[in-house]
């Protein structure tokens, strides 16, 4: 990509998404923060547990895959 | 005043039950605007920026023991907020409407048609989140690479590489949509 292309893409990007100035939250977010603190940590979704379980089963069935898996972590 | 701020940071870092909650509230009230503004620049969606501000402070609340007062609270909060934003972008479908209700400066370039703007925004929304964040902060918001690198926890060179890769992918995507740079 040459400098002309790069400048043109930058120009298009700025045209599509102008910079944001003076961004202020529309209200005080502290009440929302208190609600979040009261709710506590979110539990991991079921598919995270399913994925972890699947990986354990896969590793037990094919122990040779463990180094390969660790390499890609 | 400076001593007071230092005291708040110490109370936050130490996490003693009798002072921690007050310190956290003081920091939240001091920095919610900064964190919200930073997140809005990245996600460009006011409702998501509000939600992510709370999520970022929730992560800050839980990670208080890892806070290094010598680095400063704002820089640390930005790093955590940036990662929260990247996680959020990963969950979003491409081609969502960017800029919906965002107060923005006028672009002032009548040569770029609405159709090209739409295609560019759509192509941008298809970029990998890490590249999007680097590109929007460097190209659109024109922030210094050093500041972006600190927020992403990577080197300045890595920021430049991400921006370059983002622009190259954008060019390819736009060419496929029939827009020649």
ipTM here: 0.77
Residue A4 placed within a domain? no
Residue B109 placed within a domain? no
pTM: 0.80
pLDDT for A63 equals: 86
Of B37, B50, B106, the CB nearest to A29: B50
Nearest Cα neighbor of A5 from B179, B176, B141 is B179
Residue A15 placed within a domain? no
Question: What is the number of domains present in chain B?
Answer: 2
Question: Could you read off the pLDDT of A17-57 as tens digits, one per residue?
Answer: 889 887 889 899 999 999 999 887 766 677 788 888 888 89
Of A1, A12, A29, the CB nearest to B116: A12
Contact residues, chain B, for A38 at CB < 8 Å: none
Residue B157 placed within a domain? yes
Collapse the DSSP code of A63 into the 3-class scheme (helix H, G, I; strand E, B; otherwise coil) and give the result.
coil
Range of the structural domain that residue B152 is part of: 114-176
CB < 8 Å & 24+ apart, contacts of B50-55:
B50/A25, B50/A26, B50/A29, B50/A32, B51/B88, B52/B81, B52/B84, B52/B85, B52/B88, B53/A25, B53/A29, B53/B81, B54/A29, B54/A32, B54/A33, B54/A36, B55/A36, B55/B84, B55/B88
Residue A11 placed within a domain? no
Residue A53 placed within a domain? yes
CB proximity B28 to A under 8 Å? yes
Q: Where are the alpha helices (DSSP H) in B15-70?
A: 17-43, 46-62
Separation between Cα atoms, residue B120 and residue B176, nearest integer Å: 12
Question: What is the number of domains present in chain A?
Answer: 1
Instruction: Say whether pLDDT at B108 is over 80.
Output: no
Contact residues, chain A, for B63 at CB < 8 Å: none
Residue B56 placed within a domain? yes
Same domain, B85 and B10: yes
Range of the structural domain that residue A55 is part of: 47-73
């Amino acid at each position: 990509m040459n400098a002309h292309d790069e400048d043109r893409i930058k120009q298009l990007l700025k045209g599509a998404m102008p910079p944001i100035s003076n961004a202020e939250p529309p209200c005080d977010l502290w009440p929302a923060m208190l609600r979040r603190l009261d709710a506590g940590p979110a539990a991991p979704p079921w598919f995270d547990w399913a994925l972890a379980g699947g990986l354990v089963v896969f590793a037990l069935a094919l122990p040779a895959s463990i180094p390969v898996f660790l390499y890609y972590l | 005043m400076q001593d007071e701020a230092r005291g708040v940071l110490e109370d936050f870092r130490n996490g003693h039950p009798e002072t921690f909650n007050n310190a956290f509230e003081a920091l939240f009230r001091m920095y919610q605007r900064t964190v919200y503004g930073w997140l809005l620049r990245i996600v460009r969606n006011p409702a998501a920026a509000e939600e992510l501000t709370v999520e970022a402070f929730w992560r800050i609340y839980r990670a208080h023991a890892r806070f290094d007062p010598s680095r400063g609270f704002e820089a640390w909060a930005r790093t955590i907020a940036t990662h929260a934003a990247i996680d959020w972008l990963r969950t979003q479908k491409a081609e969502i409407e960017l800029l919906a209700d965002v107060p923005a400066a006028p672009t002032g370039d009548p040569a770029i048609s609405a159709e090209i703007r739409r295609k560019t925004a759509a192509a941008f929304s298809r970029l990998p989140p890490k590249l999007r964040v680097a590109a929007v902060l460097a190209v659109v918001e024109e922030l210094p690479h050093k500041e972006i690198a600190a927020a992403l926890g990577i080197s300045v060179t890595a920021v430049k590489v991400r921006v370059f890769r983002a622009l190259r992918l954008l060019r390819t995507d736009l060419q496929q949509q029939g827009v020649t740079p």
